């Protein structure tokens, strides 16, 4: 797995399109942080944190992973890897580990900067749990979407529903809260994780509410994994 991951990291560092998709969220994050007073006036400090997390998750992690997996399938690299002794799980882990690592580093750095210019998160442990749940969901959805994507170029289109949808859900939850349409917002993909990020940063999520929200967020991880198992393809799409 580590050998595959090392090779994939070298490929990413030489791919301008992939580098762009990982650097673009940093520019968006910088805009959110610089204009934080405007956005906290719309929602809250926790809302801005949720927007940062899901922007990085949608683009640096999800979109980049879809492009990477589609490219490796198109050039038959996936097929060649399956002829080695590496198992399927090891192959996928190796291919997505560099992208996941970059996204995690980005979210740590961005939230760290955000915390220095505002008040830091009230519950760091809960924040970490929410981010991991959101990122695991996005990674599994990336594998599912890659199964429906014939080429890296198509990924620019096939990734739009999930990337924009999850950011939209996080924005909706962050701005309006969950006092209205509570069940709908919490059952949408990313809704519970977004509420956890907002609440863990603002410090207004009691443990009795945090556990059901975390369970709902992990439920979407399970759904995404099931979709990935059903939709992911190793052979080029015809």
Radius of gyration of the chain from its Cα atoms, rounded to whole angstroms: 18
Residue 16 confidence (pLDDT) above 80: no
Nearest to 195 by CA among 215, 222, 221, 225: 215
pLDDT tens digits, 28-77: 888 888 887 777 778 789 999 999 999 999 999 999 999 889 988 888 88
Gap between the Cα atoms of 124 and 134, Å rounded: 15
Residue % of the chain over a pLDDT of 90: 55
Residue 3 confidence (pLDDT) above 80: no
Nearest-10 crossing angle of helices 124-147, 64-74: 30
Gap between the Cα atoms of 112 and 102, Å rounded: 15
Higher pLDDT, 120 or 2: 120
- DSSP state letter for 237: P
Confidence band (pLDDT; 50, 70, 90) for 86?
confident
Q: Residue 113 in contact with residue 199, Cβ under 8 Å?
A: no
Confidence band (pLDDT; 50, 70, 90) for 217?
very high
How many CB atoms are closer than 10 A to CB 58?
26
DSSP reduced 3-state for 159? coil
Average pLDDT, the chain: 88
Q: So where are the chain's domains?
A: 2-231
Q: How far is CA 51 from CA 7, 128, 131, 198, 207, in A?
A: 32, 15, 12, 9, 23
- DSSP state letter for 118: S
Q: Residue 53 in contact with residue 125, Cβ under 8 Å?
A: no
DSSP reduced 3-state for 14? helix
Phi, psi (deg, nearest 5) at residue 195: -65, -35
Gap between the Cα atoms of 70 and 74, Å rounded: 6
pTM score, two decimals? Answer: 0.92
Phi, psi (deg, nearest 5) at residue 194: -65, -40
Average pLDDT over every residue of 109-128: 92
Lookup: tokens for 181: 């349409």
Lookup: tokens for 205: 């999520």
């Amino acid at each position: 797995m580590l050998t595959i991951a090392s090779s994939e990291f070298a490929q990413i560092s030489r791919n301008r399109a992939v580098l762009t998709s990982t650097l673009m969220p940093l520019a968006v994050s910088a805009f959110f942080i610089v204009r934080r007073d405007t956005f906290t006036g719309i929602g809250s400090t926790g809302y801005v944190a949720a927007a940062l997390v899901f922007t990085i998750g949608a683009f640096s992690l999800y979109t980049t992973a879809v492009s990477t997996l589609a490219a490796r399938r198109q050039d038959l690299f996936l097929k060649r890897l399956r002829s080695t002794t590496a198992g399927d799980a090891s192959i996928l882990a190796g291919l997505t580990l560099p992208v996941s690592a970059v996204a995690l580093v980005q979210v740590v750095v961005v939230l760290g900067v955000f915390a220095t210019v505002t008040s830091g998160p009230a519950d760091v442990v809960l924040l970490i749990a929410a981010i991991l749940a959101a990122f695991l969901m996005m990674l599994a959805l990336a594998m599912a979407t890659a199964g429906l994507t014939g080429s890296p170029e198509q990924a620019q289109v096939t990734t739009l529903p999930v990337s924009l949808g999850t950011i939209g859900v996080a924005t909706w939850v962050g701005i309006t809260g969950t006092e209205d349409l509570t069940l709908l917002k919490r059952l949408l993909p990313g809704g519970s994780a977004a509420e956890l990020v907002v609440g863990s940063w603002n410090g207004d999520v009691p443990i009795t509410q945090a556990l059901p929200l975390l369970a709902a967020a992990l439920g979407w991880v399970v759904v995404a994994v099931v979709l990935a198992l059903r939709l992911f393809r190793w052979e080029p799409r015809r």
